[in-house]
Amino acid sequence: MASVQGPSSSHLRLFVDKKTNKVVVGEASADFIDALLSFLTLPLGTIIRLLSNKPTHRSSAEVGCINNLYQSVQNFDTEVFWNGICKTMLLCPRNPCEKLCQKLRFNVDDTEPTKYFMCGSCRQGSDEWLSAFSGVSCSCGKLMDQEMKVVEEEDDNPKGGVFVRGESMYLIFDDLTVLQNSACNTIHQLVQLGYSDVTKLTEMSPKVGSKQIMDLLRRALVSTSTLTDVFLNREAAGSQPVSSFTPRLASQNVKKTQSSFNLKITVSKSKNKILFAEAEEDFADFLFSFLTMPLGSTLKLLDGNVNLGSMHNLYKSVKGMNPSWFGRYRSPHSPFSPLLDLKVASQYGCKKQRLDVHEEESPCYYYGTGFYRNNAIYASHNGVISNDWEKIRNASKVELFDPRSADGRKEAVGYVRRPALLAVMDDLQLTPLTSTSSISFLQKLKVPLNDLEEHKVTIHKTEALNLLGASLTSKAALTNGLFYLVKKQKEEPTI
């Protein structure tokens, strides 16, 4: 994706309370608001990668313990997964709004744009397959490594805004609440904040560039004073992240269904906490699926049960915005913003995810040796593809090859090779147990064996949501997400 452009001072005006050294309100252009709203499209794995790969003069922000999950994938040998591409997919998950984000003036996501490849042999025959990854082994045994030119629709309004209307200005507050720019909204919000005289506020026009956008992403995840932290450089040394999660209670008399599975956990009796869980491939895939989920769909799933810095205010702002203020790039059959219904990118979904995050439908592509544009025919040596068959000369339909499947044709189950057994620590560090000495593993725990207690719990949707919320807000995801099940078992009378 395109990198963030150079600094500019025309995108943001801030009004500051000098007595408290705090940003009270700002007026922002659509370019700036679009950049903030694009944070919601980022998969969690991309956010972790961006924050770890682009350190600033401030310390890097850690979001709960999901960074340990990402680090575990980095440390795993390729043999843990179906193939090396599975590992790459988890470390660099695709943004479901990739094409929209490429239109942003300030684009924080530096993920490489999707490219498509075909097999040089098969594309000459009747069995034509398309891959979004280079070097995949085709069903014929050769590599799919010939890059195809993608014929895109022409954008007739490149300055028309992306997620919000491009010609408008917007109000933005320190906690990243975004409102339509109107006198009534300004009056109401400033009175709510305790300000009755706007003339006492000092105006400033800070520079907005790659560093500021990255700092905004980092602080928005852990702070409720994001604008103050970034533009007034007022981040307190050693300040603790402002995030919280309220676990949901499991419903009574829940019946076991195909969307649930059993998990063996080991508890420290003296510390009243979960030390680790023994996970098979389904549970590992479920945890890894967190990395591919867009932040916006995660906040939608948790539905008010999580406070993640200022990010939940961004999402609530989109939910509360009048549809007429959304940008021109909306869902094909809906007047609402695509940010309200974010899906996992095509081919990145997990069949046994246990959460209601849907995968985008695989795009339908057509292949040919030339394409039409402005009533002219353009030839291509390697070939071209488009999701509009009318743009392709001698068009033939091609199927998208799934690298997680044995032959690319069958429905992919997940990322982890079957069978597998992994230890999941309380802070979501994962260790493959099939290649690790169990004695050495227990020695590293440094806990007396008679202090350990084994429990079997069932993971339904409620528990899955609790694990997701705890992973974003806690260093003890298993304990905070599942320990109530242990308490419940102990409280139930034995028959």
User: For a pLDDT cut of 70, what percent of the chain falls above it?
Assistant: 87
| Cα–Cα distance for residue pair 176/220, rounded to 1 Å | 8
Question: Is residue 196 scored above 80 in pLDDT?
Answer: yes
Average pLDDT over residues 35-53: 95
- pLDDT tens profile 79-107: 999 989 999 999 999 999 999 999 999 99
Report the pLDDT value the prediction gives residue 260, as an integer from 0 to 100: 79
Highest mean pLDDT pick, 149-163, 209-223, 241-255? 209-223
Of 295-309, 404-418, 443-457, 476-490, least confident by mean pLDDT is 404-418
Question: Is residue 6 scored above 50 in pLDDT?
Answer: no
Report the pLDDT value the prediction gives residue 128, as an integer from 0 to 100: 78
Report the pLDDT value the prediction gives residue 4, as an integer from 0 to 100: 47
Question: Is residue 493 scored above 70 in pLDDT?
Answer: no
Q: What is the mean pLDDT of the chain?
A: 86
Quickly list DSSP for 191-218.
Answer: HHTT---GGGSEEE---BSHHHHHHHHH
Phi-psi region of 446 (alpha: psi -120 to 50; beta: other; left: phi over 0): left
| Cα–Cα distance for residue pair 10/466, rounded to 1 Å | 42
In SS3 terms, 45-101 reads as: HHHHHHHHHCCCCCCCCCCCCHHHHHHHHHHCCHHHECCHHHHHHHHCCCCCCHHHH
Question: Is residue 240 scored above 70 in pLDDT?
Answer: no
| Cα–Cα distance for residue pair 143/462, rounded to 1 Å | 43
Of 122-126, 202-206, 258-262, 483-487, least confident by mean pLDDT is 122-126
pTM of the predicted structure, to 2 decimals: 0.92
Question: Is residue 334 scored above 50 in pLDDT?
Answer: yes
In the block, tokens 């743009």 appear at: 391
Average pLDDT over residues 390-399: 88
| Cα–Cα distance for residue pair 389/407, rounded to 1 Å | 26
In the block, tokens 């695989």 appear at: 362
Domain boundaries, the chain: 12-491
Report the pLDDT value the prediction gives residue 3, as an integer from 0 to 100: 46
